[in-house]
Amino acid sequence: MKIGIVGAAGRMGRMLIAAVEAADGAELAGGTEAANHPEMGRDLGELAGLEAAGVVLSADPHALFEAADAIIDFTVPTATAAHAVMAAETGTVLVVGTTGMDDEQQNAVTAAGQKAPVIQAANFSVGVNLLLGLVEKAASVLPDTYDIEVLDMHHHHKVDAPSGTALALGEAAAAGRDVALDDVACKARDGIIGARPKGEIGFATLRGGDVVGDHTVMYAGPGERVEITHKASSREVFAGGAVRAAIWGCSQKPGLYSMKDVLGF
């Protein structure tokens, strides 16, 4: 199975190259970056600190979509929306880990699912997807006298906040309470804000250092507090899950899938 990586020269891209090279039954089809990238033309294996892979970094994503069975995309929203159009044109499996997309960009990804298998997740870690299930279950069991807060911390390079994983955790908590997250979310607090409204789901965002990704969901109730936490110490957990999703997607019909579908949750 031939898997391509868009944004291959970034930190996550290099980790994905290594994950494809290590996966049974997977072959690296190629990788792309912007035309002016300083690593352009470099062997992808060497780029990831491995032996030469025999394929080099290019600036032609459309050619990569035509050559690959599946593409993994952890880039930026504008690029992902364009890649979704290419996936629809070629029928190539698209694995999307990009977060922070607006409605128009998300619509492009959703539309691609009509023509190709698309697996989209805020987080491809098996542990985080287990966390999502636990968060929803806890929210369904604990009464609304328990205030829910979602905390995320990432490295100082991360550009969106709250993180896509934090928002997914908020969605899981809202689903457990049978409410719409948009109706109860509070994503920022500053100044004299008054008492916390009953049923609110709050978000707190921390950024600093080289933190890969820490997420905690707190249920603060009368006399006790329940906390469910996941801490990622390496991007390998995201890369491995994304490659697993790509391999799974190659045997699926067109559609928009989640990591829950991949894992059979």
Which residues lie across from 219 on neighbouring strands? Answer: 148, 226
* Residues 25, 247 contacting (CB under 8 angstroms): yes
Choose, from 2, 83, 115, 154, the residue flagged as catalytic: 154
Handedness of CA 75, 81, 83, 87 (dihedral sign): positive
Count of C-beta atoms within a 10 Å radius of residue 184: 19
Which residues lie across from 257 on neighbouring strands? Answer: 119
Cα–Cα distances in angstroms (integers) from residue 124 to residues 97, 232, 261, in the given order: 7, 11, 12
**What single string gives the DSSP state of each residue in 139-199?**
HHHS-TTSEEEEEEEE-TT--SSS-HHHHHHHHHHHHHTTS-HHHHEE----SS--SPPTT
Question: 62 an active-site residue?
Answer: no
Choose, from 158, 230, 231, 260, the residue flagged as catalytic: 158
* Residues 4, 249 contacting (CB under 8 angstroms): no
Question: Does residue 28 come out as left (phi exceeding 0), alpha (psi in the -120 to 50 range) or beta?
Answer: beta
Count of C-beta atoms within a 10 Å radius of residue 74: 25
Count, in order, helices (H) and strands (E) of the chain: 10, 12
Cα–Cα distances in angstroms (integers) from residue 22 to residues 18, 36, 45, 48, 127, in the given order: 6, 29, 11, 12, 20
Question: 154 an active-site residue?
Answer: yes
- Active-site residue set: 154, 158
